[in-house]
Homo-oligomer: A and B are copies of this chain.
Amino acid sequence: MGLTLRLGGAGAFAALLLLSLSPGTATAATRHYWIAAVPVPWTIVPNGRDAINGVPYDAGRVPFETVVYRSYTRKWERQLPHAYGIQGPLIRGRVGDTILVHFKNLDNLVDHPHSMHFHGVHYPFGSDGSFIPGHSTRGANVKPGDSFTYRLVAGRDSVGVWPYHDHSPSMMESISGGLYGAVSIRGAREPAPDREFVVFLAALNDFMTIDGRAFVGNTPLFQARVGDLVQWDVLTLGDEFHTFHVHGHRWRQPGGGIVDVQTLGPAESFRIRWREDTPGTWLYHCHVESHMEQGMIGLYRVTR
């Protein structure tokens, strides 16, 4: 059901969008993502310790089951290898692209409804994925075993990184369990970076995590070489505000000043790019001290 209506709605919607798209959309693509909400075992502190402060965290080694987004081949036939992190697959697009996200709820852990709600991109109301009794459409409340296709368009005003997350009736518990991911939109003529780091800051159980892991040695070890165009995509969801810091580097905020620490609150996100010029084994971390102490810290290694 709904397919014709949905296409009809999207058609009218696409016409409205024309002014938002960049010139030269002739090369715009339609991209398909097959994604499911699925339980996985997860471990927050695989090595069981905070290496910097020399504190053991045995409880952090115990895996627990949680529901996350994972990528699949067409029609959810086979789960694809996952890059890294508790967050779902990185959904990529370029300005002008249509992105079809085919979502299936494979959550047999708690048998809850789920959905996908996307920031930054354009979509008709039917693809909003947010539960509002009496208003929302089927895509806001996808029951276990059911599926839904969200239709998104990357506008010129969508360039950058944005979160996506559950917005169904179970969103509060599912987001705190890791049911989120990132959308990455590149400008029509923007070059690809040489290195691309996704930094998802979030509370998880009693830890403050980066990509679902806590403490140096567990959080991602990002690597680059001098001369690389490096891209940091920084996001957060939940209740906490963070200040993202990378040692030994500075960046310009969009249209603004130069900083080496930047605040982000729940559902905010930003993209930082620089041409790497400083070798070292640098810390990156949230500069809220208690968050750093609870694990929100990692290493960034730059070699010549």
Which residues of A pack against B, CB within 8 Å? 13, 16-17, 51-54, 117, 119-120, 122-125, 128, 130-133, 135, 155, 157-160, 162, 169, 172, 175-176, 216, 226, 237-239, 241-243, 245, 247-248, 250, 252-270, 277-283, 287-290, 293, 299
A16 to chain B, nearest CB (A): 5
Check B157–A250 contact: CB distance below 8 A: yes
A293 to B266 alpha-carbon distance, docked (Å): 14
Check A265–B250 contact: CB distance below 8 A: no
Partner of A279, one of B125, B155, B216, B255: B125
Q: Could you say which residues of chain B place their CB within 8 Å of the CB of A267?
A: 243, 245, 261, 287
A288 to B287 alpha-carbon distance, docked (Å): 19
Q: Could you say which residues of chain B place their CB within 8 Å of the CB of A125?
A: 248, 278-282
A303 to chain B, nearest CB (A): 11
Q: List 28 A-B contacts (CB under 8 A).
A: A16-B226, A16-B278, A17-B277, A51-B133, A52-B169, A53-B169, A117-B247, A119-B260, A120-B250, A120-B260, A128-B247, A128-B283, A130-B283, A132-B281, A135-B281, A159-B258, A160-B258, A238-B289, A241-B241, A241-B263, A243-B267, A243-B268, A253-B255, A256-B256, A259-B268, A261-B268, A263-B263, A263-B264
A77 to chain B, nearest CB (A): 32
A255 to B250 alpha-carbon distance, docked (Å): 17
Q: Which residue of B lies closest to A169 (CB)?
A: B53
A50 to B303 alpha-carbon distance, docked (Å): 54
A243 to B53 alpha-carbon distance, docked (Å): 31
A299 to B259 alpha-carbon distance, docked (Å): 28
Q: Could you say which residues of chain B place their CB within 8 Å of the CB of A158?
A: 250, 258
